[in-house]
């Protein structure tokens, strides 16, 4: 368990209790870096870690779906977590603050069966 906690802390994959996938998203001006871009369908925890100097948020939308999941503003140096169930598909991940998405704060997450 200690090892799993350590792995999660550095943002890599951990399959902790219940097989929940973890994805860490590091936000900076102006990029989003995902610790992994492929996860299995099912429960997932997405952590937004703001390593930048401005507040950032997170939006997640499966291509073809209407629903947008997300986290509110996270202050510089802070983190927040979102737990959700992911069905297979391609997901757009972005920051919705001002024009941050256009500036590069966007990524793709692929969820497989």
- Give, as ranges, the residues between 89 and 108 that touch Cu ion (CB under 5 A): 95, 97, 100, 105
Tell me the closest approach of the beta carbon of residue 2 to Cu ion, in angstroms.
Answer: 33
Tell me the closest approach of the beta carbon of residue 28 to Cu ion, in angstroms.
Answer: 9
Instruction: Tell me 19's DSSP state.
Output: G
Binding region for Cu ion (CB under 5 A) out of 5-13, 32-40, 49-57, 82-90 = 49-57
Determine, following the binding rule CB under 5 A, whether residue 59 of this chain makes contact with Cu ion: no
Residues in the interface with Cu ion (CB under 5 A) total 5
Determine, following the binding rule CB under 5 A, whether residue 56 of this chain makes contact with Cu ion: yes
Give me the residues that bind Cu ion (CB under 5 A), please.
Answer: 56, 95, 97, 100, 105
């Amino acid at each position: 368990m200690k090892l799993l906690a350590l792995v999660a802390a550095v943002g890599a994959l951990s399959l902790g209790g219940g097989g929940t996938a973890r994805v860490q998203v590091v936000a900076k001006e102006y990029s989003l870096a995902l610790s992994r871009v492929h996860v299995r369908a099912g429960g997932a925890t997405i952590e937004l870690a703001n390593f930048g100097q401005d507040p950032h948020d997170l939006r997640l939308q499966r291509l073809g779906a209407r629903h947008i999941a997300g986290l509110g503003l996270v202050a510089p140096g802070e983190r927040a977590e979102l737990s959700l169930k992911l069905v297979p598909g391609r997901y757009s991940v972005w920051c919705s603050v001002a024009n941050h998405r256009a500036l590069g704060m966007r990524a793709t997450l692929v969820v497989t069966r």
